[in-house]
A and B are shown apart, each in its own frame.
Chain A
Amino acid sequence: MNWEHLKTYIWVRWRLSANQVRRSGTVGVIIAAILTGMRLLGGIVTFIAGLLIGFLALSRAEPRVMMIAWDGVAVGFIFFWMIGLMSELQRSELLSLDNFMHLPVSPSGAFLINYAGSSISLSLILFLPAMIGLSVGLILSRGLAMLPLFLLVAAFFLMVTAVTYQFRGWLAGMMTNPRRRRTIIAVVSLVFILVFQIPNILTHYGPGARAERRASQEAAKEFAALDKELDDGRITQEEHDKQSAAKRDALNSDRKERLERGFDILQSVNMAAPPGWLPYGASAAVQGRKLPVLACFLGMGLIGIGSLRRSYKTTIRLYTGDFNKGRVRRKVKTKPIPENTIKTETGSVATAGFIEKKLPRISEHASAVALTGLRSLLRATEVKMMMLTPIILLVIFGGMLVSKDGSVYGYLRPLIALGLATFIVVISMTGFVGNQFAFDRSGFRVFVLSGVSRREILLGKNLTYLPLAVALMVLAVAVSQWMYPMRPDHLAAVLIQIVPIYLLFCLGGNIMSILAPITLKSGSGKPAPHQGFQTFCQMMFFLLVPIPIGLTFIPLGVEALLFSLGWTARFPVFLLLNLILAFFVFRFYRNALNWQGRLLHQNEQKILETVSAKGE
């Protein structure tokens, strides 16, 4: 790699980005310019913020406070860095190493350029200036003894970028198989969500949180008892104040002790985990302990260099085509060909099983679309991942609600159940139902080419998502019933109301899918960039679809109103009205499908152009 190669590389990368932006039209160019400006501004702002914090807020801070401050910055960086890494995994590289492997460029040069190129990201633009600013601020306020912070910051960035580069290369190697690629993306995303949920879980449910809650509850009881004693005249105001102050002191002392223990644990974690060596080194620098600073610097530097070395070896193997070096090759077992396996012309029993089935009272075409769509959907790992998100949300929010007081007014209970069901279905299914044809990608071409009524295609598509949506809504109602049990007639009414909610949601989703489809990145289920208007429409759909769904809540309101007026006591008005509502919404849905089918037919070529476009 020489200067010419470097210049060419930067030029190519610039052209790729510029062309990508240009293709998105004038609005896209403006948005890209604004984003670039914001990034640069963000870098300047974080530098100044870091400088001020270092110079003013941390000028006299204790080593522990210093460690927490650096912990915050380091964790923040790693969090955003990992989000960037996951996005990178879901799209092909802007300029892959493969593109210049056959060119006369030295492997080491190509490697370094690729590594540097892959490290430039939004998180680096925001956090590197912040850390430099913080270091400069601390040097200005605490003197030259803080100079090693620059070395620690450099080593920290080298370590994080090099390790993730190696990790990315390793994953990329495994992702050459398209089926495995999706699983890897899904698993990495899931691990990421779970790892970054750990602090949240510990904060809410960890031993410290439990102790804190217990202590607060006990203190509240003791204070209430003291108040009662005062009210009963058993103690004087002076005694009350004295005892209250003593209890508050004891409470604060306990809290301080727990905080001290927390600090100790944090320090141990920082000493043991390499990402914590920057905060630990910073706190040691404040104390003037040179050896830990040096150890942290060397440790992070060595990890970074080791990772780069290993990545480089992988690159060389790629260059030389020696992909399997170091691996023990398994013996390939050849499958014996069974005798007497001659196929007769009509004797074949191979079937497509699930896809051949017919749904009762549903046309052949709609059945085929629904079952094929469902089979296809359940095989897509990105869809499974998208389905997992609401379940995780349900567990987190459900768990939080469980810990609250369970006394809720009777009519609020079905409202909570319906609200939760609507929330879950809107959160989890909007991306699917509001953009139904995009997940098929080139498969949508089959529909356009077919002579099938477009109404049947829409019906089949809506049926595809029905089992998933109903399962999620029933789960939400079950969680709600467990937390705040409803009357049997209310429970039945809520379950019936799932039908009109889903049908209205589908009608809205059909219109969105037809009029504002979004190109998705292949294999990720995420929208391709620069689709401002469509994304805005989808967002508005997400925000506004609860309004028509909210109309289905009227029967509950009617029963609550009649009850409050004393006109009904136990008569199941809500249930009866919901049955009538379900019938009329179903009729409305059937009629609406006719004109939606015509709308689909009129717009199918435009939809095809969008959904089959390359998402990169």
Chain B
Amino acid sequence: MELAIETKGLTRLFDGFCAVDHIDLHVETGTFYGFLGPNGAGKSTTIKMLTGLLAATEGEADVLGHNMFDINESLEAKRRIGVVPEDLALFENLTAREHLTFIGRMYLLSAETVRKRIDELLETLGLADAEKKLTLEYSHGMKKKLALAAALLPNPDLLFLDEPFEGVDAVTSRNIRDMLTDYIGRGSTIFLTSHVLDVVEKLCTHVGIIAEGRLVEQAGLDELRRGSSLEERFLEKVGADEAATHKLSWLHEEMP
């Protein structure tokens, strides 16, 4: 099976702190890969390295067959991927339409194609009424939707989505889920991080779990669950202490 993403010993240190520790990812083409982990586990750092936003301290990362740490090859990969990064990537003094037009031109799409796709994206994501506002005036959820529209606009072969459902309303969330399902249906690949396990369970075909920078599990969703729920398997893998709340003895005391 062809791999859309493959890493070998991918590592990132920040001032001696190991955010990502020798992870070996294998994401097959055409899969919907959910990358899970507790806060601070290294999910966003991994996505940043895979998309060329952050250099690795050690290891290799191939995206769509291109080495992301080679200057020339990474450009080839970037021409075929779409990304919704953690901090988004928006020009705050542009309107939604202007921003998307700019993105379309960067991917060398024709003006007509760009206009048509922008219309559809803005409508589907519920941004049509706010398309003339500057992005700096957008709420966080709206910014997220615009970033998603920008990532989808060139119709890339591989999508990296860092928490795409965070701050997005239920109706749009449903629209996005449908869009992503259609997108996967044509043989493309999605690499997604999310805290919402329900969403991952509904959408993903494969799951990777990262904890304290280490990849502790990587398998097909069904294989991982093995009759249990994803939440239970996740808690088991990341070593969550279920009894933690019982340790707060003062919770039953009166307020001073």
List residues of chain A with CB under 8 Å of any chain B CB.
177-179, 343, 345-346, 348, 350-352, 355-356, 364-365, 367-368, 372, 375-377, 379-380, 440-443, 445-446, 448-453, 598, 601-602, 605, 608, 612
Given A365-B106, A449-B52, A605-B53, residue A442 in contact with residue B89 (CB < 8 A):
yes
Q: Which of A372, A446, A452 contacts B98 (CB 8 A)?
A: A372
Question: Roughly how many angstroms separate A380 CA and B111 CA in the complex, as a whole number?
Answer: 26
Q: Which of A179, A380, A605, A608 contacts B137 (CB 8 A)?
A: A179
CB <8 Å contact, A179 and B136:
yes
Give A371's nearest chain B residue, CB to CB. Answer: B102
CB <8 Å contact, B89 and A352:
no
Question: Roughly how many angstroms separate A611 CA and B75 CA in the complex, as a whole number?
Answer: 21
Given A365-B106, A372-B102, A608-B53, residue A379 in contact with residue B75 (CB < 8 A):
no
Question: Roughly how many angstroms separate A549 CA and B114 CA in the complex, as a whole number?
Answer: 42
When distances are taken between beta carbons in the complex, the residues of chain A under 8 Å from B54 are 605
Q: List 6 A-B contacts (CB under 8 A).
A: A350-B131, A368-B106, A375-B98, A449-B83, A450-B106, A605-B53
Give B79's nearest chain A residue, CB to CB. Answer: A451
When distances are taken between beta carbons in the complex, the residues of chain B under 8 Å from A179 are 134, 136-137
List residues of chain B with CB under 8 Å of any chain A CB.
51-55, 71, 75-81, 83, 85, 87-95, 97-98, 100-103, 105-108, 111, 114-116, 118-119, 123, 131, 134, 136-137, 150
Q: Which of A355, A365, A449 contacts B51 (CB 8 A)?
A: A449
Question: Roughly how many angstroms separate A372 CA and B103 CA in the complex, as a whole number?
Answer: 10
Given A442-B92, A443-B92, residue A453 in contact with residue B75 (CB < 8 A):
yes
CB distance from A303 to the nearest CB of B (A): 37
When distances are taken between beta carbons in the complex, the residues of chain A under 8 Å from B80 are 451
CB <8 Å contact, B91 and A178:
no
When distances are taken between beta carbons in the complex, the residues of chain B under 8 Å from A365 are 105-106, 108
CB <8 Å contact, A446 and B103:
yes
CB <8 Å contact, B87 and A352:
no
CB distance from B208 to the nearest CB of A (A): 22
Of B79, B103, B105, which is in contact with the most chain A CB atoms at under 10 Å from its CB? B105
Question: Roughly how many angstroms separate A343 CA and B83 CA in the complex, as a whole number?
Answer: 29
Give A452's nearest chain B residue, CB to CB. Answer: B106
CB <8 Å contact, B75 and A451:
yes
Given A178-B137, A355-B101, A368-B102, residue A348 in contact with residue B85 (CB < 8 A):
no
CB <8 Å contact, B93 and A380:
yes
CB distance from B3 to the nearest CB of A (A): 20
When distances are taken between beta carbons in the complex, the residues of chain A under 8 Å from B90 are 442-443, 446
CB distance from B68 to the nearest CB of A (A): 11
Given A440-B91, A453-B75, A605-B53, residue A348 in contact with residue B116 (CB < 8 A):
yes
Given A355-B98, A365-B105, A443-B92, residue A449 in contact with residue B136 (CB < 8 A):
no
CB distance from B59 to the nearest CB of A (A): 15
CB <8 Å contact, A443 and B98:
no
CB distance from B131 to the nearest CB of A (A): 8
Give A177's nearest chain B residue, CB to CB. Answer: B137
CB <8 Å contact, B94 and A372:
yes
CB <8 Å contact, A343 and B119:
yes
Given A178-B137, A448-B53, A451-B77, residue A352 in contact with residue B97 (CB < 8 A):
yes
Question: Roughly how many angstroms separate A466 CA and B53 CA in the complex, as a whole number?
Answer: 29
CB <8 Å contact, A451 and B76:
yes
When distances are taken between beta carbons in the complex, the residues of chain B under 8 Å from A602 are 71
Minimum-distance CB pairs A-B, first 8: A451-B79, A445-B89, A451-B78, A352-B101, A368-B105, A443-B91, A379-B93, A376-B93
When distances are taken between beta carbons in the complex, the residues of chain A under 8 Å from B103 are 446
CB distance from B249 to the nearest CB of A (A): 24
Given A351-B115, A355-B98, A442-B92, residue A449 in contact with residue B53 (CB < 8 A):
yes
Question: Roughly how many angstroms separate A351 CA and B105 CA in the complex, as a whole number?
Answer: 13
CB <8 Å contact, A346 and B116:
yes
Give B108's nearest chain A residue, CB to CB. Answer: A364
Give A440's nearest chain B residue, CB to CB. Answer: B91
Contacts A350-B97, A356-B101, A367-B105 known; list 15 others, CB within 8 Å: A177-B137, A348-B115, A352-B102, A355-B94, A355-B98, A364-B108, A372-B102, A446-B102, A448-B53, A449-B52, A449-B81, A450-B78, A450-B107, A598-B71, A612-B87
Give A448's nearest chain B residue, CB to CB. Answer: B53
CB distance from B87 to the nearest CB of A (A): 6
CB distance from B76 to the nearest CB of A (A): 7
Question: Roughly how many angstroms separate A443 CA and B94 CA in the complex, as a whole number?
Answer: 10
CB <8 Å contact, B91 and A446:
yes
Question: Roughly how many angstroms separate A452 CA and B78 CA in the complex, as a whole number?
Answer: 8
Question: Roughly how many angstroms separate A445 CA and B76 CA in the complex, as a whole number?
Answer: 17
When distances are taken between beta carbons in the complex, the residues of chain A under 8 Å from B91 are 372, 376, 440, 443, 446
Question: Roughly how many angstroms separate A348 CA and B120 CA in the complex, as a whole number?
Answer: 10
Question: Roughly how many angstroms separate A367 CA and B111 CA in the complex, as a whole number?
Answer: 13
Question: Roughly how many angstroms separate A499 CA and B52 CA in the complex, as a whole number?
Answer: 35
Question: Roughly how many angstroms separate A356 CA and B71 CA in the complex, as a whole number?
Answer: 29
Given A348-B119, A365-B105, residue A601 in contact with residue B71 (CB < 8 A):
yes
Given A372-B98, A451-B75, residue A441 in contact with residue B105 (CB < 8 A):
no
CB <8 Å contact, A448 and B75:
no
When distances are taken between beta carbons in the complex, the residues of chain A under 8 Å from B101 are 351-352, 355-356
When distances are taken between beta carbons in the complex, the residues of chain B under 8 Å from A440 are 91
When distances are taken between beta carbons in the complex, the residues of chain B under 8 Å from A377 are 93
Given A449-B83, A449-B85, residue A356 in contact with residue B111 (CB < 8 A):
yes
When distances are taken between beta carbons in the complex, the residues of chain A under 8 Å from B98 are 352, 355, 372, 375
CB distance from A599 to the nearest CB of B (A): 11
CB distance from B69 to the nearest CB of A (A): 11
Question: Roughly how many angstroms separate A364 CA and B78 CA in the complex, as a whole number?
Answer: 17
Q: Which of A343, A355, A451 contacts B102 (CB 8 A)?
A: A355
Question: Roughly how many angstroms separate A177 CA and B138 CA in the complex, as a whole number?
Answer: 11
When distances are taken between beta carbons in the complex, the residues of chain A under 8 Å from B116 are 345-346, 348
CB distance from A13 to the nearest CB of B (A): 25
Question: Roughly how many angstroms separate A380 CA and B92 CA in the complex, as a whole number?
Answer: 9
Given A178-B136, A364-B105, residue A445 in contact with residue B71 (CB < 8 A):
no
Question: Roughly how many angstroms separate A310 CA and B118 CA in the complex, as a whole number?
Answer: 49
When distances are taken between beta carbons in the complex, the residues of chain B under 8 Å from A356 are 101, 105, 111, 114
CB <8 Å contact, B115 and A375:
no
CB distance from B129 to the nearest CB of A (A): 11
Given A352-B98, A365-B105, A375-B93, residue A442 in contact with residue B88 (CB < 8 A):
yes
Question: Roughly how many angstroms separate A453 CA and B74 CA in the complex, as a whole number?
Answer: 11
When distances are taken between beta carbons in the complex, the residues of chain B under 8 Å from A605 are 52-55
Question: Roughly how many angstroms separate A360 CA and B77 CA in the complex, as a whole number?
Answer: 29
Q: Which of B52, B102, B137 contacts A448 (CB 8 A)?
A: B52
